[in-house]
């Protein structure tokens, strides 16, 4: 079965005391294990002035490079061919990433990134619903707002969606 590693939203604005170790762990993981994957892709969340985040949650972050830029530590691994931009929690909303995975005949997705309780969980559920085997890499994922949310999301994934490794 072909496998993809999907790195979710490792962006400057999400870095804090709960997440600052994640980029280094991901980089080391890719350098050691990247050869085991048929595809490695990254997502990047971008907010917009007319988004539901602004309209309904009054959340206006991630509209500038200072926040939405990929962290420097991983920037050398990201390019136009492996970066998928998104404007909400879900990575499959516009089908670009989904079609890319299908084109490469991917059957399993390993997921890492930020935030476990939002974008990681959403991708895990969406991938499961579309027939992929799902594994979430717990030590390469985190919540930037609360470690309890990370743990809760991992329980949901383990009980309802796929493997947590």
Write out pLDDT tens, residues 68-94.
Answer: 999 999 999 999 999 999 999 999 999
Write out pLDDT tens, residues 26-66.
Answer: 999 999 999 999 999 999 999 999 999 999 999 999 999 99
Sheet containing 83-86, strands listed edge to edge, beginning at the edge strand earlier in sequence? 83-86, 39-45, 2-8, 106-114, 133-142, 163-164
Write out pLDDT tens, residues 87-146.
Answer: 999 999 999 999 999 999 999 999 999 999 999 999 999 999 999 999 999 999 999 999
Domain spanning 2-164: CATH superfamily: Isochorismatase-like (3.40.50.850)
Q: Which pLDDT does position 62 carry in this prediction?
A: 94
Q: Which pLDDT does position 24 carry in this prediction?
A: 98
What confidence tier does 165 reach under pLDDT thresholds 50, 70, 90? Answer: very high
Closest by alpha carbon to 9, among 52, 34, 46, 45?
45
Q: Domain map of the chain by residue range?
A: 2-164
Calculate helix-pair angle for 147-160, 121-129, nearest 10 degrees. 10
Q: Which pLDDT does position 56 carry in this prediction?
A: 97
Q: Which pLDDT does position 144 carry in this prediction?
A: 96
> With contact defined as beta carbons under 8 Å apart, do 19 and 71 qualify?
no
Q: Which pLDDT does position 105 carry in this prediction?
A: 98
Q: Which pLDDT does position 157 carry in this prediction?
A: 98
């Amino acid at each position: 079965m072909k496998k993809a590693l999907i790195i979710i939203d490792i962006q400057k604005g999400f870095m804090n005391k709960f997440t600052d170790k994640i980029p280094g762990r991901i980089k080391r993981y890719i350098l050691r294990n990247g050869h085991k994957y048929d595809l490695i892709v990254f997502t990047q969340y971008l907010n917009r002035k007319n988004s539901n985040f602004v309209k309904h949650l009054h959340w206006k972050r991630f509209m500038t490079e200072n926040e939405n830029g990929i962290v420097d530590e991983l920037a050398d691994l990201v390019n136009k061919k492996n970066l998928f931009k998104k404007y909400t929690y879900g990575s499959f909303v516009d089908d670009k990433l989904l079609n890319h995975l299908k084109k490469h005949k991917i059957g399993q997705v390993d997921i890492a990134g930020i935030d476990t309780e939002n974008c990681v969980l959403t991708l895990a559920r969406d991938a499961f619903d579309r027939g992929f085997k799902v594994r979430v890499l717990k030590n390469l994922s985190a919540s930037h707002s609360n470690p309890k949310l990370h743990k809760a999301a991992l329980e949901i994934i383990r009980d309802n969606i796929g493997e947590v490794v």
